Amino acid sequence: MRHSPPRRLRAPALSAAILLATAGVLVGPGASPVLAQAAEYEFYVSPTGSDSGDGTADQPLQTLTEAQRRASEAAAAGDGDVAVNLLDGTYRLDAPLRFDENDSGQGGHTVTWQAAPDAEPVVTGAKSVTGWELDDAATGVYRADVGTGFDTRQLYVDGVLAQRARMSLSPSDISLNADGISIQNQNLNWLSGLPDQQRIDFLAHLTWSTRITPVDNISGSQATLQQPAWDNNTFGWDTVQAPFVGPKFFLTNSKRFLDEAGEWYLDANAGTLYYKPLQGQDLANTSVEMPRLESLVEVGGTYDQPVHDLRFSGLTFTGTSWLHPNSSDGYANQQTGTFMTGTQEHRPGDAFSSCSRGCYGFEGSRNGWSQTPGAVQVSAADRIAFEGNTFVNLGSMALGIGNDANAHSTGVGLGAHDVSVVGNTFTESAGGGITVGGVRPDAHHPSDQRMVNRDIRIGNNSIYSTALEYLDNDAILATYATRLTIDHNYIADMPYSGIGIGYGWGANDPGGSQEYVDRGLYDFQPIYSTPTTHTDVHVVGNHLVDTVNTLWDAGCIYALSAHPNSSIEGNFCDGTGQLGMYFDEGSRYFSVTRNVMMSTAGQWAHGNINGGHNTGNLTLTGNYSTSSDITGIPNGQRGNVVQNNTVFSANNIPSGAAEIIDAAGPEGDASGPASGSVRGTGSNRCLDVPNQSTANGTQLQIYDCWSGMNQQWSRTAAGELTVYSGSSRKCLDASGGGTSNGTAAIIWSCHGGTNQKWDLRSDGSVVNRQSGLCLDVAEASTANGALVYLWSCHGGSNQKWNLA
């Protein structure tokens, strides 16, 4: 379920006026207000400006490329800071913005790209889709002409990532073989008659991986899948034919599959987009954005001439689609956005059966894996800052920092130095939030020391309800970096791990790993005698909610390999579908103290010590958990110290745990989206779900306030008001997307639509973003059971509320 709020256990009473500050002015929960930075050289840009203008606020430029040219010329003088101020509007790019050494601040000065005062500029790689016509009255599908010469894997409707047309396959419907799929269910024989078969994908969600294989052809009962994608998706671990948990299978991307509201299909050859609207959705008043670019911003120089002294502030980055899975490589994911490409030299001919759960030849593939690129990319760069931006509706990982060269459009990877990512929001994208570091040998044992990623801070960000298609992505993944701090972030509603640190399964650490001696890895790479670049990593004060809610073999905080001089401290993990802290293969040298693990489905801490792993040297002291279970980290063995940890009940939180909980998450005026009862000013009664119902469509009422969960509402960073938790969580919803007086206020499964977004105004009114109507108690009643509707805002006491 999207947009999970943190379940704050000791939220203070907040009026709507205070909430306006925390939800409307701040970029992310607890972030500082974004203020435009003055500079000696100022340029203004507006989508309605002119590139022949002088670039002032009165005569702004029109394009970002012209602004970039002028900023570069000004910076070259080296005698002052430069600011490019983006005025209100949407900036639609025809090509990514690429920044190199020539775009850098010079002489100790900085070039800043920022929102102008009071502006909310949007930088997008998408085009707006309009001109909808009914295509089929029987199915309710609409169509629009969008032109040809491009492709996309994503579509964004009212800010929500829409579902590509798909059909579910039961494992009993098919059997898998070395060539693809054998269709066992005779009711599916119609699949062989589908047009454009090579645009169809076979999608599998497995234990810890999402895998995509394009179809080559469907003949009779056999669907032959494209190579090398199918070979690579059936080679190694968590393969399609032998997952440890699951699987879930789908066929996607045929018009014939377009049968559910909210689905879409693009006929790229004809240039026609098809979409089946949600109930109550009027396409004449609906924002539909179709990506045309794979990346938006590419910050990258060379090791000799790195890009430097650049700052991005207050911008929204949106509207991309990553197209590599369309290729014959598909998406052969191995773990956390890292995937296999090309024909594998050491794959044996019988690998479908002999290598379905690892084999000698698979070890020879590891050093050639690729990484998912970021929509915004930073490499070969010094002193780069992202502050108070929003990353939303992106088709891959949102922000990639110092990844391998294959994940950077500049062709130069790694080498990210002094990078700060502070106070940003990441949500509603196909991939995860932030990836720091690479996975190939130069990432962990660089051939040039300038490749080392170092001195990086990821702090005070909100990352939630993302990795919606590539479920294997983390909110934050850091593979190899020197001096990295991940602190005070809010992370929620993630299908896999919340924070992942380290890579390599311990095999690249000094002396190697007996496990990988046994597997034969070192026939393909050396046993290193020197440490990796991964050291001095600190994960501090983060608030994580509802992680590992779809895949498996993951943790709220997940680690691999050695982490010298590293710590995990003061984090609050509130609900995770498997493990709290997961110290997987080779995890070592952590100081783990003062963390709170609440409602973990598995152990609060687990170390993988199977086989010849070097997991150990872990110091776990002063932690709090609602579970007593801890495995693989024996006190006094393997160099471990496990002492003075406290098991507690969620109904009786120790003061030490409460202090950690209160301090976790973004710092600043707000500690995250607030929660509590919503009390009517006129009635002194609370917004209530009748009879504690969890059924979609239940209309709300007011009733005497009490502590029941049917009156406990949480304000999310996305602007929703949610009730209940876990699988029962529902959103306050304008029934049917209604925009007229008398529309019922109901609960409904959270889907991210604007009819579920609410603004809490300073006068105490709660206003629906889609309609502009206020939350209203019928006929100004103050009686128990009075129903709640939406009505034109008039300032009456029956439209005033406090979240307390």
Mean pLDDT of the 669-696 span: 81
Binning pLDDT at 50, 70 and 90, where does residue 715 land?
confident
Per-residue pLDDT, 34: 53
Neighbours of 662 (CB within 10 A): 15
Q: What is the DSSP letter of 125?
A: S
Each residue of 607-648: pLDDT tens digit?
999 988 999 999 999 999 999 999 999 999 999 999 999 999
CB 545 within 8 A of CB 4: yes
Residue 156: the pLDDT is 98
Scanning 45-86, the segments in alpha helix (DSSP H) are 64-76
- Indicate which CATH number applies to the domain containing 702: 2.80.10.50
pLDDT attached to residue 114: 98
Any domain includes 204: yes
Residue 671 has pLDDT above 70, yes or no: no
pLDDT digits (tens, 9 = 90+) for 23-35: 222 333 334 445 5
Q: Is residue 747 part of a domain?
A: yes
In this structure, what DSSP letter does residue 779 have? Answer: G
Query: Reduced to 3 states, what is the DSSP secondary structure of residue 735?
Result: helix
> Bigger pLDDT: 5 or 535?
535
549-579 pLDDT, tens per residue?
999 999 999 999 999 999 999 999 999 999 9
Name the domain boundary from 337, 359, 381.
Answer: 359
CB atoms within 10 A of CB 435: 31
Q: How far is CA 594 from the centre of its chain?
A: 27
The conformation of residue 405, written as its DSSP 8-state character, comes to: G
Q: What's the domain count of the chain? A: 2
Q: Report how far residue 48's alpha carbon sits from residue 70's, in angstroms, rounded to the nearest whole number.
A: 18
Closest CA to 545 of 747, 729, 394: 729
- 792: pLDDT confidence band, cut at 50, 70 and 90? very high
**208 and 354 together in one domain:** yes
Lowest mean pLDDT among 6-10, 296-300, 483-487, 794-798: 6-10
pLDDT tens by residue, 271-297: 999 999 999 899 999 999 999 999 999
Cis-peptide into 247, omega within 30 deg: yes
**DSSP readout, 503-531?**
-GGGTTSTT--HHHHHHTGGGTS---SS-
Q: What is the pLDDT of residues 717-736, one digit of tens each?
A: 567 898 986 567 889 999 99
**Boundaries of domain holding 748:** 14-23+671-803
Alpha-carbon distance 679 to 710, whole Å? 13
With cut-offs at 50, 70 and 90, classify the pLDDT of residue 764: confident
Residue at 121 is within a domain: no
> How many other β-carbons are positioned within 10 Å of the β-carbon of residue 303?
14
Instruction: Check whether residue 18 and residue 163 sit in a common domain.
Output: no
pTM across the whole model: 0.84
Mean pLDDT, the chain, rounded, equals 92
Tokens of 702: 């007011």
| pLDDT exceeds cutoff 80 at 323 | yes
In a domain, 148, yes or no: no
Percentage of the chain lying above the pLDDT 90 cut: 87
Residue-wise pLDDT tens digits, 37-56: 677 999 999 999 999 999 99
* Residue 504: pLDDT over 70: yes
Q: In 37-97, which ranges are continuous DSSP H helix?
A: 64-76
Counted residue by residue, the chain has a size of 804
698 located within any domain? yes
pLDDT for 804: 67
The reply to whether 313 falls in a domain is: no
Q: Amino acid identity, residue 439? A: V
**314 CA to centre of own chain:** 19
- Using pLDDT thresholds of 50, 70 and 90, give the confidence band for residue 759: confident
Rounded Cα gap, residues 389 and 178, in angstroms: 46
Residue 117 lies in a domain: no
Q: What pLDDT score was predicted for residue 726? A: 59
Q: What is the mean pLDDT of residues 750-773?
A: 84
What pLDDT score does 718 carry? 61
Last-in-domain residue among 313, 331, 359: 359
> Pick from 338, 436, 429, 426: which is nearest to 384 by CA?
436
pLDDT band for position 7 (cuts 50, 70, 90): very low
Asked if residue 187 has pLDDT above 50, the reply is yes
Mapped onto helix, strand or coil, the DSSP state of residue 585 is coil
286 within some domain: yes
Which of 311, 341, 359 marks a domain boundary? 359
pLDDT (0 to 100) of residue 207: 98
The DSSP secondary-structure symbol of 649 reads B
Alpha-carbon torsion, ordered 586, 589, 594, 595, to 10 deg: -20
